[in-house]
Every structure is written in C-alpha cells, then in structure tokens.
Amino acid sequence: MTEAVSRPTLEAVAARAGVSRATVSRVVNGGDGVREPLVERVRRAVEELGYVPNQAARSLVTRRHDAVAVVIAEPEARVFADPFFALQLRGISKELTAHDSQLVLLLTEGPEDYARVGRYLAGGHVDGALVFSLHLDDPLPGLIRGAGVPTVFGGRPGWGDGPRGDGPTVYVDSDNRGGARDAVRHLVGLGRTRVAHITGPLDQTSAVDRLDGFRDVMVDADPRLIVEGDFTPAGGERAMRVLLDRCPEVDAVFAANDLSAAGALRVLRERGRRVPEDVAVIGFDDMLPVAEGADPPLTTVRQDIEEMGRLMARLLLRGLDRRGRDEDADPGPGKGLGGAPSSVVLPTTLIRRASA
C-alpha cells in the first residue's frame, strides 16, 4: 500500500473548489481581494482535504521562513542546569507562537561549534536570531553579526552599548546594576555597616554590572569584602569562608545570585552565624525554588526572566516587520512610531523574605 500519504497541494484544493491556484493561495494567505462565496468554497475544500501549505515551497519564493534561531552558547552543565534559559525559552516560545514563528534551538558545546552556527545563520534558514552569549570575550556575537542576520541579544553583550560595525546592537537585559543598588541600600538601611559582596564570574556582564551596583552604594568598600564567586552554591560557600576568615565581623552579604547565596547560607549556619540576626543575606534572581526554599527564605532581587525572553522575541519580530515594510516604503527621516528597535533594560524588584 502506498502509505506515503502524499499531502494535498494547492492544485488539489483549487480543483476541488473549482478555482485557480492563485485564488486558493490568496484565501490561504488572508483572503484579501477574494469575494465571499469563493472564500467560503475554498475554505471548505481546504478543510475537507486537510490541506496544509508546504512551508518549503513557500519559503523558496517568499524568502521568509517564519522561523527564528535561538542560540545558546556553552550550555555547561553548571549554567544550563539553572532554570534561567528554560524560562527565557518559555517566554520566547510564547511570543513566537503568537506570531506563527518556529523556534530553532542551536546549542553550542564550545567554540568548535561556532562555525556550524555561523554557517547555519548565514545560510538564510531563519529570519532572525536570538543570541545568548555569556562571556565577555566570546567570539560568537561577532561571528553572528557577520552572518548578516537580524539579531537580538539576551543580556548586554561584552562590547558595551552603541553601534559597532553595522547598526546598533539590540539587547534585552534586566537592570543588574540598579537591582544590586537596591539590594545593598536595603542592607545599609537595615543598619549594616560591613556589607560584603560575593560576585559572579567577572567575565560576564551581569556579574560586572551587579558589582558596579554594589560599588555605587558602598563607594569606599573594603576590597577585602568583595570576593569573586562563580554563580554556583559551591562557589558561594568558598567565598563565604574566605569572607569570614578575612573579616569575621561582616554583618551582611549581597550575593550576586541565589545559588551562591544558598552556598553562603550553608557556611554561615555551619559557622554558627544566625541569619539574619548576625548576618543579613540577599541574593539575586529570585530563582524558585532556591530562594523560597532556602533556610531562611532568601531576600532577593527578582528579575522577570520570562518577560525578557518574550521581549527579545518581540523586538526581533518587530525589526523583521519593519525591514519587510521598508522595502517599498522609503523610510524617510521622520519614520513615525515604531522606529528601529532599541535595547531594553527591564526593572528589577526587591523581594523581602526572612534572610534580610
């Protein structure tokens, strides 16, 4: 039996509805300029045959793919294990779905994969890309810009804001610096005077920005109160030990993320320090269940990760739309509302729980 169910084509639908291919195509793509009775006939034929347009054929002529690549660089177990990307993906997925776009996931295990990603993007298989690059010196972003694909970055890329090469870099990030400031101010407001900071890995902009926020408030912080961590519980433990050894009278800790805060909490308990009475602790991310599940529950800075993802997708799609329209309509100087998308920095919220 020829089980190879050859799916119905436009032609078949046209035949059944007694119209031309062109008309069916018009109906399938919105139905503008086709009179009602015909539209109805075609719709029914589509329904009856279970017609689904062949995306490959469509792409071949339209040069659109209704697909967006999401590039996540170096999903080391450590990084990938936290729910961060999962939530971003969720936000991205929602937004893309709402615009009938597909999500093509590109994970890289390291620089050896970059060429593949570059080739894929340059190959024009997708309409745009959403890129997460974690490290300051990562060559991936540059490579991707080279591919000439519309791109929105997740998190402020290492080279800072502003144009570089062709056009401005568009990214979505949360207000790491501002959030850090809020956290530290809260600790200071609690009357704490020896406020320490466990940083994240300083080759990531988020960690750098949080450190900057810390410094904004603790202008002349004792450098011994700043210890580099790595966003992991183990790193948090290490840092906390260093901190307690260096400066036993520390009375507050701002950890650059919840995971390292959890590590710090453990060491504090182990060393007999009460939280928050002896040492107040604040994290960052509001990563449930880590933050809520910590003992005591963690005061932390919440960022809306899913919203970041959604926003990235939205910016990209808007850019694509604009690009499409600009083909025929000369942009002109005053291009009214909705100009080129620009970067967005989302606000953070301090979530007060028991630890501070």
Partner DNA sequence: GCCCGATCCGGGAGCGCTCTCAGGCCGGCC
Partner DNA sequence: GGCCGGCCTGAGAGCGCTCCCGGATCGGGC
Q: Which residues contribute to the site for its own copies (CB under 8 A)?
A: 5, 7, 50, 52-57, 59-60, 65, 67, 70, 75, 77, 80-83, 85-87, 89-90, 93-94, 97, 102-107, 109, 113, 116, 119-120, 122-125, 148, 232-234, 259, 262-263, 266, 269, 288-289, 293, 295
Cβ nearer to DNA, comparing 62 with 342: 62
Residue with tokens 């182990």: 270
In the complex, minimum distance from the CB of residue 9 to DNA, in angstroms, rounded to a whole number: 3
In the complex, minimum distance from the CB of residue 287 to its own copies, in angstroms, rounded to a whole number: 8
Cβ nearer to DNA, comparing 52 with 86: 52
Rounded distance, CA 311 to CA 88, Å?
10
The answer to whether the CB of 227 falls within 8 A of the CB of 197 is: yes
Task: Report what 22 binds from DNA, its own copies, none; CB cut-off 5-8 Å by kind.
Answer: DNA
Cβ nearer to its own copies, comparing 146 with 347: 146
C-alpha dihedral sign at 20, 22, 28, 32: negative
107 φ/ψ sector (left φ>0, alpha ψ -120 to 50, else beta):
beta
- Partners of 285 in beta bridges: 302
Rounded distance, CA 104 to CA 225, Å?
43
Task: Report what 5 binds from DNA, its own copies, none; CB cut-off 5-8 Å by kind.
Answer: its own copies
Cβ nearer to DNA, comparing 11 with 295: 11
Q: Side chain identity at 135, as an amino acid letter?
A: H
Rounded distance, CA 332 to CA 202, Å?
43
In the complex, minimum distance from the CB of residue 61 to DNA, in angstroms, rounded to a whole number: 4
Q: What is the dihedral of CA 121, 123, 127, 133, to 10 degrees?
A: 0
Both tokens assigned to 209: 């920005």
In the complex, minimum distance from the CB of residue 334 to DNA, in angstroms, rounded to a whole number: 27
Both tokens assigned to 242: 């260093």
Task: Report what 233 binds from its own copies, DNA, none; CB cut-off 5-8 Å by kind.
Answer: its own copies
In the complex, minimum distance from the CB of residue 93 to its own copies, in angstroms, rounded to a whole number: 4
First-to-final CA distance of the chain: 71
Contact set with DNA (CB under 7 A) = 6, 9-11, 18-23, 25-26, 28-29, 33-35, 38, 51, 53-54, 57-58, 60-62
Count of residues making up the chain: 356
50 φ/ψ sector (left φ>0, alpha ψ -120 to 50, else beta):
left
Task: Report what 331 binds from DNA, its own copies, none; CB cut-off 5-8 Å by kind.
Answer: none
Cβ nearer to its own copies, comparing 102 with 343: 102
Cβ nearer to DNA, comparing 16 with 210: 16
Task: Report what 105 binds from DNA, its own copies, none; CB cut-off 5-8 Å by kind.
Answer: its own copies
> Under 8 Å CB-to-CB from 253, ≥6 apart: which residues?
195, 196, 197, 198, 240, 243, 261, 264, 279, 280, 281, 282
- Number of helices (H), then strands (E), belonging to the chain: the values are 14, 12
Nearest Cα neighbor of 279 from 307, 314, 247, 311 is: 247
Task: Report what 43 binds from DNA, its own copies, none; CB cut-off 5-8 Å by kind.
Answer: none
In the complex, minimum distance from the CB of residue 43 to its own copies, in angstroms, rounded to a whole number: 15
336 φ/ψ sector (left φ>0, alpha ψ -120 to 50, else beta):
left
Task: Report what 329 binds from its own copies, DNA, none; CB cut-off 5-8 Å by kind.
Answer: none
Cβ nearer to DNA, comparing 54 with 97: 54
In the complex, minimum distance from the CB of residue 351 to its own copies, in angstroms, rounded to a whole number: 16
Cβ nearer to DNA, comparing 52 with 105: 52
In the complex, minimum distance from the CB of residue 78 to DNA, in angstroms, rounded to a whole number: 40
Residue with tokens 């659109």: 64
